[in-house]
Structure 1
Amino acid sequence: MDLALAWVVVGGLLEPVWVIALKRFDSTRNLAWAVVTIVFAVLSPVLMGIGMKTMPVGVAYAIWTGIGAVCTMIVGYYLYNDKVDALKLVCVGMILAGVVGLQFVSGGA
């Protein structure tokens, strides 16, 4: 894995942090959750931006959002008992296949 891809992946992995923190802030109005939301809502795209210096913008964004969406769904399942059925798993599989495919056809595999 090249360094640009690593930055984008780490940024994508941080995306669920601010999403969950936002949900926690919304339900508790605890300002600590607001701070966590702001910090990670800034840090996540900044890391993606670092990766985009040497990676195509569309590919970086697709990887970042794909990882963020899949990880947020997983976290929602474990923390909030969000429903996950076979059709959702198929859709998540398609997201992951698309992310891997984009990286492959972009010469990053």
Structure 2
Amino acid sequence: MKYFLILLLAVAFFIISITLGSSNDQVITFNYLIAKGDFSLSSLLASLFGVGFVLGWLVCAIFYLRTIVSLKNARRKIRRLESQLGAEGKETSDSTSLVTTQNKD
């Protein structure tokens, strides 16, 4: 729910920026590394905001997936160690019962 509200806030901010930018028809020259382009201010703001938003979500998704993978690896390791501990505990109880029966004889 928290992430949905953040997404809703970002979309509202995007819509407000498009609305305010649409009234500004000023054309500016945008010099990016490869070339130059003449864009209206509103379209440039909207496209750069969209690119930044998508890049931010991609970075967050990469970190989230890394966390999920490390969590799965940790759970697998815990299961393996618990099974080893259970097998050692069973061997210990078998040898303990064998020793107690030999001592009774």
TM-score (norm 1): 0.30
Rg bigger for which structure?
2
TM-score (norm 2): 0.31
Higher relative contact order (CA 8 A, sep 6+): 1
The structure whose residues are more often strand, as a share, is: 2
